[in-house]
Structure 1
Amino acid sequence: MKSLIENLILKLIWITIPYMKKLDYNGLSSQRKGDKTLFDFGGFFEDTLEWTSLKMVRIYILLMGVSVKKIKVIVMLVILIFICSIVTKAVLKFQYNKSNSELNRKVEEIIDKLPIKKVDVPDESSKVDKNQNGVADPIDIVNSARKEAEQETVYKDAYYVGGYPPDGEGVCTDVIWRGFKGINVSIKDLIDKDIKENMAQYKGVNGKTDPNIDFRRVLNQDVFFKKNCINLTTEFKEGDINNLKEWQPGDIIVFIEGYEHIGIISDKRDEDGIPYVIHNSHPHASEAKLSWFHNPIHGHYRWKY
């Protein structure tokens, strides 16, 4: 019996030690602006693994002088240590360097597989198809914007000569004009033209136009959409079908209070009928549930298809 436990402990030691040697702890950090590390889990797990292995070594040494009467206690300790090692290994495989939205997405994927009755929210989005590609214009906008989330466009706030940032980088407002490219609408041209004709209405311009950046400012996009779109409710109510159906694919949502942000309502909903928002916030573009946004909604607009 004792020999069996000795072999078991030795095997557990050799299973655990390689992880301490080979793990890349730098990958266990969640970073923010300026590559400043806000959360560092590496040290914690390194200490956990070292503690686990050292404990097993000590138990093995002590086992040499332990009577058979205490074997059951030792077996329980070995099992607990083994469980800790397995849990630690599982957690380490989970990528902590991903954004909160990605972690939430993984949770949602798991929930979607559960046998939960979903809320059926009526699809009342426009079925207009001006570009005649067989897809309704609101879905064209969503599909075009979703490419940002799928390729995880890096959040980078910068000034670009010519206005347009290169593919693979941008901010929240870039999701908008890239989305509207799906219906062959140039948001830049429309906003630049409207600013020239109605500069006083655009407080974000400060009396001086700059085509390289004006169309990429949240405040300017907000003014433009408020003037040229259908203005809808800014109230969001979970569990209210009548309210949930007010949020349709391709709609524009704007936040001003607390932080300036803008996104596009997705055609994806969770089991409660809550729509997702396609947006770009540090570290990259993603789809996040509307209920995850806690700042007051400033504007909710629908393009006049």
Structure 2
Amino acid sequence: MKKLLSTLLFFLLIGIGFAQTTPEKLSEAAIKLTEQKVIYDPSYFSIAYPNGDVPADRGVCTDVIIRAYRELGVDLQKEVHEDMRANFSLYPSIWGLKHTDKNIDHRRVPNLMKFFERHGKVKPINQNAAYYLPGDVVCWNLGGATTHIGIVINKKSRDGKRFLIVHNIGAGQVIEDCLLDYRIIGHYTY
């Protein structure tokens, strides 16, 4: 009976998307995103909820993360919104907001960092590229209050010393060897 229940639970989790989130699949989803031409556009958009997205040809770094997880059946818009609504005081107050905004909250790096801290696994931050594996989410400080986010993928740099990153820092959704180019401030799996 226990085995039957375990099997049923496993298939239920697959059906609702949980068991589909593996580092390999996240890496593949991120790589697939680079086939789509996207213009860097930090504009505020009113979007559907749940499963809302900015126009397919627009986006910023957080949209890479959102779209990659969506490929695996995870709606970060919904997940972040519900967690922020229930735990608003735990999230950054950088923008002076008094309540959640399902159009933008999930598109802000500090909010994704807090969400991954709360619901994912926080991994060590260091300058050793060997610690950053495909499927990891990495956050950087670009200077001042400017933050950035990307996904480590299963492709290596030309010298073979580190995995590459899929991100959007202004040139669209691209693959680059930039892991150690900026100060790392977050390292997660989810």
Fold-level similarity (TM above 0.5): yes
Q: TM-score, normalised by structure 1?
A: 0.51
Q: TM-score, normalised by structure 2?
A: 0.79
Structure with higher Rg: it is 1
Q: Aligned pair 1:179/2:64, yes or no? A: no
Q: CA RMSD in A?
A: 2.4
For residues 76-133 of structure 1, give each alpha carbon's deviation from its aligned partner in whole angstroms, at most 9, with x where no partner exists: xxxxxxxxxxxxxxxxxxxxxxxxxxxxxxxxxxxxxxxxxxxxxxxxxxxxx9648x
Instruction: Name the counterpart of 2:105.
Output: 214
SS in 1 for 2:101: coil
Q: In 2, distance between residues paired with 1:131 and 1:138?
A: 15
Aligned length: 168
The answer to whether the 8 A contact 1:131-1:183 is kept is no
Q: In 1, distance between residues paired with 2:21 and 2:41?
A: 31
Q: Aligned pair 1:166/2:51, yes or no? A: no
Percent identity (aligned): 28
Instruction: Name the counterpart of 2:189.
Output: 302
**Higher strand fraction (1 or 2):** 2
Instruction: Name the counterpart of 2:137.
Output: 252
**Unaligned 5+ runs, structure 1:** 1-128, 239-243
Instruction: Name the counterpart of 2:8.
Output: none
Instruction: Name the counterpart of 1:227.
Output: 118
Q: In 1, distance between residues paired with 2:149 and 2:21?
A: 22
Change (3 A) 1:131 1:183: farther
Instruction: Name the counterpart of 2:148.
Output: 261
RCO higher in structure (CA 8 A, sep ≥6): 2
**Unaligned 5+ runs, structure 2:** 1-10
The answer to whether the 8 A contact 1:280-1:286 is kept is yes
Q: In 1, distance between residues paired with 2:189 and 2:171?
A: 27
The answer to whether the 8 A contact 2:21-2:72 is kept is no
Q: In 2, distance between residues paired with 1:217 and 1:136?
A: 22
